[in-house]
Amino acid sequence: SVVFISSALGMILTSKEAKRSGPLHDSAQTALEMIRTGQVGNKSRDIFEPLRLACETRSDKLMIASLDCISKLISCSFFAEEPSDRCPPSPPSPAFNRRRSMRAPQSNISRPSFIDLVIHTIASCHSETAPEAVSLQVVKALLSLVLSPTIYVHRSSLLKVVRTVYNVFLLSTDPVNQTAAQGALTQIVHHIFTRCRLTRLNNPEDASSHRPSANSRRLLTSFKNGIMTVLPLTESSGFLPSASAMELPESGHAQGALTVNDMSIQDAFLVFQALCKSTMEPVNNERCHDPKSHSMRSKLLSLHLVLTVLNSHMELIVNPAAIIYSISSHEATTFIQAINQYLCLCLSRNAVSPVPQVFAVSVELFWHILSGMRTELKKEIKVLLHEIFIPILEMQMSTLKQKAVVLAMLSKFFQRPQALVEMYLNYDCDGEVVDSIYGQ
């Protein structure tokens, strides 16, 4: 790592930007002196400072060199954190500071952690006008940071990483950068869910206590003439929620700091929530229905990432031991109950899309819900079948392609004899059911 630092600092020190900026020149000189005297190990912030200031110059050459150096330092575990079973919160927003839910000392609240500073520095290098070479280095650095085994990125900092890589994919015109950003997002999402450790509930009473409450919100209300009416979300729209919108516990289980696994599950929920909300962004202009348009690329990318989660991490989603603790309701909520409204709204708003690519992914999402969440989302599945997918088969306005895709999905599901029996017993034999799903 010393070689990487020395090379980057040498370039910074001899640059014209360093000659114009006293702080940049002095910090680079100090860092080089520390390297010569062997003080690198315990002076991470001081070594990082000239790299941070170099990125702030907005010089393409210095940003590329600094970001490349940061990526290599991350790979060498230069920014390693002390291992801990409990994880303090990342720098919260002013609104969160007022809650003081984690009871952190004021000194910890006012000063961002070193890792958060590194993430902010890397993310700040990307903008709408950033050169493609800089954007590619941003993606590489953020991917290395999240996947590092010695660094734990969570909450608002993790969302900032996802948002930045997501924006690189949308704003870049270089196919290489688009492919790199899409691949990085897929790896990041996989990593976020994979680091959640699963446990099994051995006590039946514990399992029953984690079941969804009876007063869970009903999401879908009616479907007439091909138009879905959906109860509005209480949160404001947008790709990623602000830090003030995140909820951390302050009573019961979490009077102290959350465990690393608690934070991991919460991170997985926040990212999944953000992806679902991104898929619900309206596309009003007919020109935006072009798969190459900005809004449609955003929607398709989010839909594919949601599909990736359902395809690879169903065990976590339906595990009753995957718990999220809420500060507003003071209740423990299972992961599937927490994502319920976002997943169902994501599906209902996209399953009626006239864009073939969006419709196909939506049908694939519903197949995963049918296959892996029949027990947990029984009522939601009934509504989706009655109000969306069966009407698609019946309506004349549906295209032949849409009907074929839905029939292929149902045929795939009913290849298992047990599925046919479950469908009949759970819906047609239910005394509250008015319409016969099995009969239809």
334 forms beta bridges with 323
What is the percent of the chain with per-residue pLDDT over 90, rounded to a whole number?
Answer: 50
Question: What is the distance between the alpha carbons of residues 268 and 290, in angstroms, rounded to a whole number?
Answer: 31
pLDDT band (50, 70, 90) for residue 435: low
256 φ, ψ (degrees, to nearest 5): -100, -165
In b/e form, how buried is each residue of 84-119, taking b as 16+ CB within 10 angstroms? eeebebbbbeeebeeeebbeeeeeebeeeeebbbbb
| pTM (global) more than 0.95 | no
Question: What is the distance between the alpha carbons of residues 166 and 90, in angstroms, rounded to a whole number?
Answer: 21
Residue 440: the pLDDT is 64
The pLDDT tens digits of the residues spanning 197-229 come to 876 544 434 444 444 443 343 333 333 333 333
Question: What is the distance between the alpha carbons of residues 3 and 355, in angstroms, rounded to a whole number?
Answer: 52
Question: What is the distance between the alpha carbons of residues 249 and 70, in angstroms, rounded to a whole number?
Answer: 34
Residue in the block written with tokens 């990082």: 48
Question: What is the distance between the alpha carbons of residues 96 and 248, in angstroms, rounded to a whole number?
Answer: 9
CA-based end-to-end distance of the chain: 66
Q: Is 228 helix (H, G, I), strand (E, B) or coil?
A: strand
Residue 437: the pLDDT is 65
256 pLDDT higher than 80: no
CB 334 within 8 Å of CB 321: no
Q: Is 333 helix (H, G, I), strand (E, B) or coil?
A: strand
Residue 222: the pLDDT is 36
Return the structure tokens found at 151: 């660094």
Residue 78: the pLDDT is 84
Residue 340: the pLDDT is 93
CB 161 within 8 Å of CB 119: yes
The pLDDT tens digits of the residues spanning 55-108 come to 999 999 999 999 999 999 998 888 876 444 444 444 443 333 333 333 333 434
Q: Is 237 helix (H, G, I), strand (E, B) or coil?
A: coil
Domain boundaries, the chain: 1-78, 204-428
Residue 221: the pLDDT is 38
Question: What is the distance between the alpha carbons of residues 387 and 437, in angstroms, rounded to a whole number?
Answer: 11
Question: What is the distance between the alpha carbons of residues 421 and 428, in angstroms, rounded to a whole number?
Answer: 10
pLDDT band (50, 70, 90) for residue 287: low
Residue of higher predicted confidence among 118 and 92: 118
The pLDDT tens digits of the residues spanning 269-286 come to 999 999 999 999 887 666
Residue of higher predicted confidence among 162 and 287: 162
Average pLDDT taken over every residue of the chain: 79
CB 261 within 8 Å of CB 197: yes
